Amino acid sequence: MAKLFRAVILGPPGSGKGTISERVASSFGLQHLSSGDFLRENIAAKTEAGVLAKTYIEKGALVPDHVMTRLMLPRLVEMTRHSWLLDGFPRTLAQAEALNSACELDVVISLNIPLETLKDRLRHRWIHPASGRVYNMRFNPPRVQGVDDISGEPLIQHEDDKPEALVARLRHYKDVAKPVIDLYRAKGILHMFSDTETDRIWPYVSSLLSAKIPTDLADAQRATTH
């Protein structure tokens, strides 16, 4: 069995983690696990962790580490036989240490996007809650404004994308992300990308992963996901 590949993508709200993760999933056959989407699934399903997490997310605050870890690690156990890309977790040093005790990472991608770019992107972000499909009125608009291309259901904007909640989230992100980035840099697995456009970052991410993911593994995984 080819060695599995484990990666994490870090970046502030609106940095393009989800956009790049989808491209990685379809190009390399890695499973994309978005902690934000997984949280919203748990909130919708009114699970114990979902009910608890909802109280923090509504304030634009971070969900406590033990709640996130208790939610994410069992999900990763279910994915033991897959290569995966984690998006939005770990977010803090405690979460990174919990993850590191559970598995070995091969690559950590860190997106470094200017604040004004983030604000502009999130102002125009629309989401289809049921599927997690993400649109942007400037970057990838839906065919019909306010309507999901696939289901025809209405698109929404996340409460915590509103400018007033966004400032709190961005400040939180900077405070908690630095030790996580430093940890992975010290491990020698951090790769930082800075730009204002995903389409300019993507070729670099793609060539990094092409060099890191064994070709037989990528071919095998593409075969299973298509």
Ligand X SMILES: Nc1nc2c(ncn2[C@@H]2O[C@H](COP(=O)(O)OP(=O)(O)OP(=O)(O)O)[C@@H](O)[C@H]2O)c(=O)[nH]1
Q: Write out the residues near ligand CDP by the rule CB under 6 A.
A: 13, 35-36, 39, 56-57, 62-63, 68, 88-89, 91, 160, 169
Q: Is 157 in the site for ligand X (CB under 6 A)?
A: no
Cβ closer to ligand CDP: 34 or 221? 34
Using CB under 6 A, which of the segments 63-71, 78-86, 92-100, 194-202 binds ligand X? 194-202
Q: How far is the CB of 42 from ligand X (least distance, A)?
A: 16
CA 117 to chain CA centroid, Å, is 18
DSSP class of residue 84 equals E
The binder of 197, among ligand X, ligand CDP, none, by C-beta within 5 to 8 A per type, is ligand X
Q: In sequence order, what are the residues at sequence separation of 6 or more whose Cβ sits closer than 8 angstroms to the Cβ of residue 65?
A: 92, 94, 95, 98
DSSP 88-140: S---SHHHHHHHHHH---SEEEEEE--HHHHHHHHHTEEEETTTTEEEETTTB
Q: How far is the CB of 2 from ligand X (least distance, A)?
A: 28
Cα 87 to Cα 142: distance, rounded to the nearest angstrom: 23
Give Cα separations from 136 to 16, 76, 115, 223 (angstroms). Answer: 11, 30, 17, 30
Cβ closer to ligand X: 104 or 197? 197
Q: Is 60 in the site for ligand X (CB under 6 A)?
A: no
Q: Is 138 in the site for ligand X (CB under 6 A)?
A: yes
Q: Is 11 in the site for ligand X (CB under 6 A)?
A: yes
Cβ closer to ligand CDP: 10 or 190? 10
Cβ closer to ligand X: 78 or 116? 116
Cα 126 to Cα 142: distance, rounded to the nearest angstrom: 9
Exactly one of 198, 209, 213, 218 binds ligand X (CB under 6 A); that residue is 198
Q: How far is the CB of 89 from ligand CDP (least distance, A)?
A: 4
Give Cα separations from 95 to 21, 63, 88, 217 (angstroms). Answer: 20, 11, 11, 28
Q: Is 139 in the site for ligand X (CB under 6 A)?
A: yes
Which positions touch ligand X (CB under 6 A)? 11, 13-19, 36, 88, 121, 125, 134, 136, 138-140, 197-199
